[in-house]
Copies of this chain bind each other. A is one copy, B any other.
Amino acid sequence: MSAPLPITFLSDYGHDDEFVGVCHGVIQRVLPGAVVIDVAHGLPRGEVRQAAFVMRNSLAYMPPGVHLAVVDPGVGGGRRPVALRSGDGRLFVGPDNGLLRPAAERSGGVQTAVDLSESPYRLEPVSATFHGRDVFAPVAARLAHGTAVEDVGEPFPASDLVDLAVSGAIVGDHGVEAHVLHVDRFGNVQLNADRGQIAALGLRSGDPVELETDRGRWQASYGRTFSDVPERGMLVYEDSSEVIAVAVNQGNAARTLGLGANARIRLAPRR
């Protein structure tokens, strides 16, 4: 018998209620002493795309193991509960709504997919509204214990998995047209743009950048870290997830710019 695998757990359950704690309880009942890493539970409610982005970006920092994720606005409806094994051997458990796939693609692609609807390891009766507790947590614990993915559900073709296409930013004549993927606690705004697109504008570290949103225009600098701009100054930078982001030094860029998830923003070199 090999050692149990660690479990990582990401959700939009929040910290006010017992949802996260109940899933932990279920895991410890199946696998006493399980190591569970809470990746994040305060993600915006039901925002599958944002959660998929966070999950994909954090995966490289997690030990290989079972990656449980539940952002599941369609719970109890038609969406499929699934477990996946990726090319590099990581295991993923959650709803088939696009949440798991970007992370699995980044770790070698989906090699095996199983449907958990009739899993022998689900808790009966399965409630209509809390599959984290009744399906995903107990299956994750079984996988961590060493049960093969083929034994926790019914195999189906990986090509049937839901795919949430994330559109990239577009480089045009008037700069980079981007969208907001995620706003963090500090008000830093992550965009669907990458370093190559900024380079295509001819921007170098220290250069001025003009930002345009539906609310107006702002002057920023392209730099490396917060202290590269004065206090309250606005910074465009590659963040620790290697995506282009906007921040205000000692301030809140999302509030300053009036931006939330999915909002559009244009970046251009200042003339």
Chain A residues close to B by CB (< 8 Å): 3, 6, 8, 10, 13-22, 24-26, 28-29, 32-33, 35, 37-43, 45-46, 54, 57-58, 61-63, 73-78, 127-130, 133-134, 184-186, 224-227, 237, 239-240, 250
Contact = CB atoms under 8 A, between A and B. Distances in A.
Q: How many copies does the complex hold?
A: 3
A51 to B, nearest CB: 10
Nearest to A185: B14
Nearest to A35: B33
B128 A237 contact: yes
Nearest to A46: B250
Contacts of A224: 76, 128
A231 B129 CA distance: 16
Contacts of A17: 40, 42, 54, 184-185
B225 A16 contact: no
A227 to B, nearest CB: 4
